[in-house]
Structure 1
Amino acid sequence: MTPSWRKPAGMLIILAIIAVWCVAVVSLSGVVGQWHWALQLPFYIVTGIVWIAPLKPLLRWMETGHWR
């Protein structure tokens, strides 16, 4: 059985998604840093979880070759 090219490509896409998401969140830190801590907490919790959403179809594609 030969390895699929989708797994290494998918891993690179996952790393790119993480890098772009980190840059986006960090670029907002100047604004968010001025908020009260009670508002910062849910912001960082949500942004820490939301990046996982696009991974499910990507992981499915890596395994099967289909998006759905």
Structure 2
Amino acid sequence: MNEPSWRKPTGIFLILLLILVWAVIVATASSWIGDQHMLVQLLIYVVAGIVWIAPLKPLLAWMETGRWRH
């Protein structure tokens, strides 16, 4: 049986930290975003809701394999 890896709890912590930092960035910009046209706001929030996912693939790979790339 394999010994439990420290990478998974560390990775979970990093994912939560990423979400927190991204939420603070978007919330900080919300007053500026709120001044924009409704369709521009929609576009910004859709992009902001998708962009934070990009760093997850290498992070999840590292959590599973110990390497940043497959």
**Amino acid across the alignment from 2:43:** P
Q: Deviations over 1:11-62 (max 9, x none)?
A: 0000000000000000000000011101100100000000000000000000
| Aligned twin of 2:29 | 28
Normalising by structure 1, report the TM-score: 0.98
SS in structure 2 of the partner of residue 66 of structure 1: coil
Cα distance in structure 2, aligned partners of 1:52 and 1:38: 22
1:1-68 superposed matches below 5 A? 1-68=2-69
In the comparison of the two structures, how many residue pairs are matched? 68
CA shift for structure 1 position 2: 1.1
Distance in 1 (CA, whole Å) between partners of 2:16 and 2:39 is: 30
TM superposition score normalised by structure 2: 0.95
Runs (5+) with no aligned partner, structure 2: none
Give identity over the alignment, percent.
Answer: 59
Aligned structure 1 segments of 4 or more residues deviating by more than 6 angstroms: none
